Structure formats: structure tokens, C-alpha cells
Amino acid sequence: MAGGLGAKKVDVTWATEEAGLLLAISIKSINFRDSSTKNFQKNLVNRRGDMLMEAVTLHRRFPYAVLGAFFFFDKDAELDGTSKRKSTFINAHARLRLFTGRADPAGRDEQFERFYILLLDAEAAMPVRAFEVGNPGTQIDLAVIFDDLLNLTAERNPDFYEFDSGELRNVR
């Protein structure tokens, strides 16, 4: 995908010839403990930097695009805290909070409209628990997340789409 600072590969995109980029979702993950610290934080700052550059690149070229970020951690990232350090899960919320909540197309390019932390337990009946960055105490259903992203996309593109009762409709 062409961006404002060069081409950028994005995990999930929805674009049309008429409107350009409408919705993009960036996905990052840290699934393994660091061998020396035994926590999941080793590449957190680097992955955050990658995601922020992606947001800047896409928003510079497509200011009305809705950008969502999904950062997956192993479920144990919630439990790897020590007496000297909070868990990776809690630290990630603090380190990413500044980069979510872009409410206006003229807002900060480095912010995502929505940013989520997801805990993955491949052996569980419900393998993913999702949380909006900055709100680690409230789990969010994935359907609510996708409805929110689609609703925001329709709000940013009212001449083309509307979102009603869980359904995105073309209005043309």
C-alpha cells in the first residue's frame, strides 16, 4: 500500500479506487518469553515503533482512513510481573495508551483510531481475550471491536456507507 512516507505492507486493508484506503488493521505479536528476563517485553518498544511508523505513513496519505491495531501476547504476559516490575500486559497498556483514540481525521498521525491488546491461549475454549489499550480491566468481545471499526469507517465515509444494527451498507 502506498503511504505518505513510502510503501507500507499492512496486514488487513480495505480500499476502493474511489475512496482509497478506508480501513487498515495492523497485527503484531510477542508470543515467547525472553530467555533472560522470563517476561514478554523484550521487543515491545521495537514493535510499538513499527506500528507508529505504519500509522504515520498511512495517515499522511489517507487522513480519513480508520486504523486499528491488534497486539497479541501469550496469555502468560498477564502473569509475568514481579515485585519490581508490572506484568507485560499492564506495561503494554501504559506504553501504548498515547497512541490510540484518534477521533478526528485531522488528529495526530501516529495515533490509531483504535488499539487493542489481545491475550492468546491456544488451548482454551475461548482462545482470545481482547482489551482496549488503556483499559486492562475490561474485556471486549471481538464482534464489538469489529462493529466499532466498521461503524467508524462508515462515519468517516457517509457519502458511501452507513452502519446500522451490525450491518455495513453501501448507500450508493
Per-residue pLDDT of the chain (172 residues; tens, 9 = 90+): 555 555 667 889 999 998 899 999 999 998 877 878 778 888 888 889 999 999 999 999 999 999 999 999 999 999 988 888 899 999 999 999 999 999 999 999 999 999 999 999 988 888 999 999 999 999 999 999 999 999 999 999 999 999 998 999 999 8
- Give the per-residue pLDDT at 2: 57
**Cell numbers found for residue 159:** 457519502
**Cell numbers found for residue 168:** 455495513
Position 8: which residue type?
Answer: K
Tell me how crowded residue 166 is: count the other CB atoms within 10 A of its CB.
10
Write the Ramachandran bin of 81: left for phi over 0, alpha for psi from -120 to 50, otherwise beta: beta
**3-state SS class at 136:** coil
Do strands 6-7 and 12-16 pair parallel, antiparallel, or not at all (unpaired)? unpaired
User: Where along the chain do its domains lie?
Assistant: 2-37+61-170
